């Protein structure tokens, strides 16, 4: 199978699965068009399940063990018992990549509550459904990495952490989807969400960072954010470079008046933000620290450490 090239890596993957794509489904590799869940699966009916978005670079899976540990932590929080071990799912992930001939890919690993009766009682589901999808990388368009993107702030408030802990990477993404709709209607590809206190939380699919007076700042976990694995990698890269790093509560004015702003995520990697709510951030161009960290991230993933 043809490998994705740097030129094609930034293209959107097709809406339909590639005909010869294989999906790891409950222990077996099956053609994508046969990898189907029941209409009685509680992951479909109620968003009851957990998932991880993972990246592979040059045939190696970035932070695979860390992703799987987070998957199991999310499952424990919702009292979902995953019927495989970390090692088994790691092997399955690598096998799925190899079977599809993909060296650079986006990986979606999902565990649903499984088939059960109608009604939200999760303990009426006997066996969780587990599947692994590998596909071409979905990234923002290259010009946005070169010149930056513009975002807007959603009116939809991030889920209260006491109602649904954002650190649980669950299939229930309606909160994010509603904010995403606001952004799309405003002509933006990403949307910033505030928490119940009006503090900056995160974007619909990415963590947010700002640079202010030489410091790198990002919202703390108590602001209601997912503890992003790319977020943590970038924090480490910044510290290694001698940058002053702080996790700090911030409000919109902090973002409006920042010297630089960028987002991080598994698919996004590190992408500069040059405007928010029709206000220019910094010089209106990707900032030097943003570019430095993006380059450092690319050097890191060249080796794709698995843990």
Q: Are strands 215-218 and 149-153 parallel, antiparallel or unpaired?
A: unpaired
Q: What is the mean pLDDT of the chain?
A: 92
| CB-based burial label for 102 (10 Å; 0-12, 13-18, 19+) | buried
Catalytic residues: 169
pTM (predicted TM-score)? 0.91
For residues 287, 151, 138, 295, the Cα torsion angle rounded to the nearest 10 degrees is 10
Per-residue confidence band for 132, with pLDDT thresholds at 50, 70 and 90: very high
**Per-domain residue ranges for the chain?**
22-135, 142-301
pLDDT of residue 139: 73
Region of residue 306 (phi > 0: left; psi between -120 and 50: alpha; otherwise: beta) = alpha
CA proximity to 128, closest of 93, 84, 88: 84
Identify the pLDDT of residue 89: 98
Q: Read off the pLDDT of each residue in 264-279 and give the average, rounded to a whole number.
A: 96
Number of residues that make up the chain: 307
Whether the predicted pLDDT of 163 surpasses 60:
yes
Each residue of 34-65: pLDDT tens digit? 999 999 999 999 999 999 999 999 999 999 99
Q: Which residues contact 92 (CB under 8 A, 6 or more apart)?
A: 24, 27, 84, 132
What was the pLDDT predicted at 13?
46
Give the homologous superfamily in CATH for domain 142-301.
D-amino Acid Aminotransferase, subunit A, domain 2 (3.20.10.10)
Band (pLDDT 50/70/90 cuts) for residue 18 is low
What top-level class would CATH report for the domain 22-135?
alpha beta
Helical residues (DSSP H) of 126-245, grouped into ranges: 142-147, 174-185, 229-240
Structural tokens at position 49: 């399940």
């Amino acid at each position: 199978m043809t490998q994705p090239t740097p030129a094609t890596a930034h293209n959107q993957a097709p809406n339909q699965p590639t005909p010869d794509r294989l999906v790891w489904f409950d222990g077996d590799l099956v053609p994508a068009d046969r990898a189907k869940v029941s209409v009685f699966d509680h992951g479909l009916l109620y968003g009851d399940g957990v998932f991880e978005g993972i990246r592979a670079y040059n045939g190696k899976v970035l932070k695979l063990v860390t992703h799987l540990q987070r998957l199991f932590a999310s499952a424990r929080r919702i009292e979902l018992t995953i019927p495989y071990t970390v090692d088994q799912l790691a092997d399955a992930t690598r096998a799925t990549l190899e079977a599809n001939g993909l060296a650079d890919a986006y990986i979606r690993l999902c565990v649903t509550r499984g088939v059960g009766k109608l009604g939200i009682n999760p303990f009426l589901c006997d066996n969780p459904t587990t599947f692994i999808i590998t596909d071409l990388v979905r990234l923002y368009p290259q010009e946005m990495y070169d010149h930056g993107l513009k975002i807007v702030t959603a009116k939809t408030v991030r889920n209260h952490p006491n109602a649904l802990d954002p650190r649980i990477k669950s299939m229930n993404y309606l909160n994010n989807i509603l904010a995403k709709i606001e952004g799309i209607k405003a002509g933006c590809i990403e949307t910033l969400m505030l928490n119940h206190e009006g503090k900056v939380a995160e974007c619909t699919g990415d963590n947010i960072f700002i640079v202010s007076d030489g410091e790198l700042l990002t919202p703390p976990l108590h602001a209601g954010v997912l503890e992003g694995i790319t977020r943590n990698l970038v924090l480490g890269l910044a510290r290694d470079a001698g940058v002053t790093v702080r996790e700090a509560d911030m409000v919109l004015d902090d973002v409006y008046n920042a010297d630089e702003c960028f987002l991080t995520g598994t698919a996004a990697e590190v992408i500069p933000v040059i405007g928010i709510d029709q206000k220019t951030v910094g010089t209106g161009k990707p900032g030097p620290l943003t570019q430095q960290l993006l380059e450092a991230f690319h050097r890191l993933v060249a080796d794709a450490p698995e843990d």
